[in-house]
């Protein structure tokens, strides 16, 4: 169940990041800011679900560590307004569950 939550959140986050990365920052700054806040919130939710997923044996410690690293990479890129790199990290996180 928690793995499903993490996957849904990651897919939502990667879709928002992909959308935001295609917008013109000079014209669409409001939309980019809104998407960035939503992505950051989804990353936080996914990070919070990882420990429960491991406790429920829905995720291995190794996968949890890799997912944490990808979410951290995405957060760091998002904070630096590097939406392309943030999207790539979230796509990689999603691919863990495909």
pLDDT at 73: 96
Q: What angle do CA 9, 15, 16 make, to 5 degrees?
A: 90
pLDDT at 30: 78
Say how far apart CA 61 and CA 80 lie, in whole Å. 29
pTM: 0.73
Number of Cβ atoms within 10 Å of the Cβ of 22: 12
Say how far apart CA 9 and CA 2 lie, in whole Å. 10
Mean pLDDT by 10 residues, the chain (98 residues): 46 53 65 83 91 93 96 94 88 86
Given a contact cutoff of 8 angstroms between Cβ atoms, the answer to whether 71 and 89 are in contact is yes
pLDDT at 28: 66
pLDDT at 94: 86
pLDDT at 24: 61
């Amino acid at each position: 169940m928690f793995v499903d939550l993490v996957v849904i959140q990651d897919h939502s986050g990667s879709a928002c990041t992909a959308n935001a990365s295609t917008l013109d920052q000079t014209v669409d700054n409001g939309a980019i800011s809104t998407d960035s806040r939503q992505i950051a919130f989804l990353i936080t939710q996914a990070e919070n679900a990882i420990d429960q997923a491991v406790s429920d044996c829905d995720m291995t410690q190794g996968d949890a560590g890799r997912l944490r690293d990808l979410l951290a990479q995405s957060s760091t890129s998002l904070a630096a307004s590097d939406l392309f790199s943030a999207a790539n990290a979230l796509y990689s996180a999603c691919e863990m569950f495909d």
